[in-house]
Homo-oligomer: A and B are copies of this chain.
Amino acid sequence: MHVDTIVQNLLSRQSEIVDRLCAFLRLPSVSTDPAFIGGMLDAQAFLVSWLERMGLSDVQLLDGGGHPAVYGAWNGAPGKPTLLIYGHYDVQPPDPAEAWVTPPFEPTIRDGRLYARGASDVKGSTAIALETIAAFLKLRGACPVNVKVFLEGEEETNSPSLRPIVQRYGDLLQADGMISADGARAHPKIPTINVGSRGIVEFEISIRTADKDLHSGRYGGAVRNAAHEMAKIIASLHDEDGAIAIPGLLAALPSVSVNARADTARFPFDEAAFVENIGARAHGEHGFSIREQLTLRPALDVNGMWGGYTGFGSKTVIPSTAHAKLSLRIVPGQDPDEASDALKAHLCTVCPRDVELSIDDPGTGSKAFNLPTEHPLVLAAKKVLSEATGQEPALVRLGASIPITVIFQELLGLQTLMFGFALPDEDIHAPNEFFRLASLMEGLSAWPRLLEQLGEYSADEFRSMAAEAESAAV
């Protein structure tokens, strides 16, 4: 059966496919908050049942000590490449809940958009991959390549158990490359292939200025206030432009390559639309375009900060503790541990001697990701996207971090092609996240063709081409 027929079949079943995606989205699989454990278990059961029904073998939960990954394989294409198919079933917390137009776990379609927490990140694109495999197996009885489906449950918490899982199940997960449903498209109209993403380092800092909270009338004017001290620490992280103001961190940073800047400049990026979309002016490091700031330069953000009384009304207290969650996006050439150490050294330097600083570091940092441009995964994707759109795909980098790419490369030697269909404006990690139904259709059209294209290679051809691309990139 020709792949066009597979695609036609998928496109004709939009309503059935949307219904199944909505059932997936109704499960509140928030990995970061123990209160949502029920949603996590429901999502695992949902996926296990689905993989079994579509005919995958060896369907199981891969346990690494945290939320397990869901796994299933189809090995019926001997001599063909084996591709790990990556997605994740966990989602970000939905708060602030009151900011959602419709509830985050009640998927709702408005104006061709499917609104729900996780719709764009990344249940929508995960569903595209699974529907593609199911369609091949149902209609043709076979996939063009061997597939090993791996659906993670901790992507939104920086994958703390992913290393243990990949180490423990290393034999099961052997493959020639990986295709990820995560990693959004960079542009709604121009085909793109992601050849990199920023890494990330995250930790929480707490300061203490006194043994206990103090009355602001009795003590105000003669004692330190933890909120003031935290404010001074956070204020020291950036200069007036918004650029990172930590010399130790910038000194170790490789300069941005001419090629990378040229690639970035070739990709049309609408700065005016960017600004309009956020409802504010751009604000970042001097001497770089917005797109360069977003993808080629590190970024340091306070994701949350709190101290003292934050409830209703007033409370005349001098907070003795204050807290902040920090995340640092790093770029190729930056080592997560070194970057983390430089940031911590700065915090220790700016924190006054009689303020107690503690750092809670989960140690989940990950390097930036780099995919060689001549890798067979890139070549296959280029061909599929060129044919589908009539345009040469642009090579782009993501600002976001996909630590899994680094982990699979390190532990299993796998390169990752990100082939997700989310778009950048879909409010992921924020209220009113959505996924476009048009993107769902484009994904259901492209994924079967990508697998078909990869099936043109023998396993040996794939491996030698990949090895050559890797060595050229070094």
Stretch at the interface among A144-152, A254-262, A322-330, A412-420: A322-330
Tell me whether A297 is interfacial, beta carbon within 8 Å: yes
Other-chain contact of A310, B224, B300, B306, B327 (Cβ < 8 Å): B306
Q: A289 — nearest CB in chain B belongs to which residue?
A: B222
Pick 24 A–B contacts, CB within 8 A, sort by A: A32-B313, A32-B314, A93-B309, A99-B212, A200-B217, A212-B279, A212-B430, A215-B400, A216-B301, A216-B303, A217-B399, A218-B399, A221-B242, A221-B293, A221-B298, A222-B284, A223-B242, A227-B303, A227-B324, A228-B234, A302-B307, A303-B315, A304-B319, A305-B310
Stretch at the interface among A3-11, A81-89, A386-394, A421-429: A421-429
| Cβ–Cβ contact B304 & A227, under 8 A | yes
Q: How far is the CA of A242 from the CA of B95 in the complex (A)?
A: 35
Measured between beta carbons, the chain B residues less than 8 angstroms from A323 are 310
| Cβ–Cβ contact A303 & B294, under 8 A | no
| Cβ–Cβ contact B278 & A211, under 8 A | yes
Known contacts A308-B305, A316-B303; is-contact A329 B217 (Cβ 8 Å): yes
| Cβ–Cβ contact A228 & B220, under 8 A | no
Q: How far is the CA of A249 from the CA of B327 in the complex (A)?
A: 36
Interface size counted on chain A using CB atoms at 8 A: 96
Q: How far is the CA of A232 from the CA of B211 in the complex (A)?
A: 26
Top 6 A-B pairs, shortest CB-CB distance: A217-B400, A211-B279, A220-B299, A221-B299, A32-B313, A231-B234
Copies of this chain assembled into the complex: 2
Q: A432 — nearest CB in chain B belongs to which residue?
A: B212
Q: How far is the CA of A401 from the CA of B316 in the complex (A)?
A: 10
Tell me whether A78 is interfacial, beta carbon within 8 Å: no
Other-chain contact of A285, B221, B278, B312, B325 (Cβ < 8 Å): B221
Q: A212-B430, A231-B232, A303-B317 are in contact. List 6 more A-B contacts (CB 8 A).
A: A214-B278, A215-B400, A217-B398, A222-B293, A305-B306, A305-B319
| Cβ–Cβ contact B299 & A314, under 8 A | no
| Cβ–Cβ contact A235 & B231, under 8 A | yes
Tell me whether A238 is interfacial, beta carbon within 8 Å: yes
Tell me whether A354 is interfacial, beta carbon within 8 Å: yes
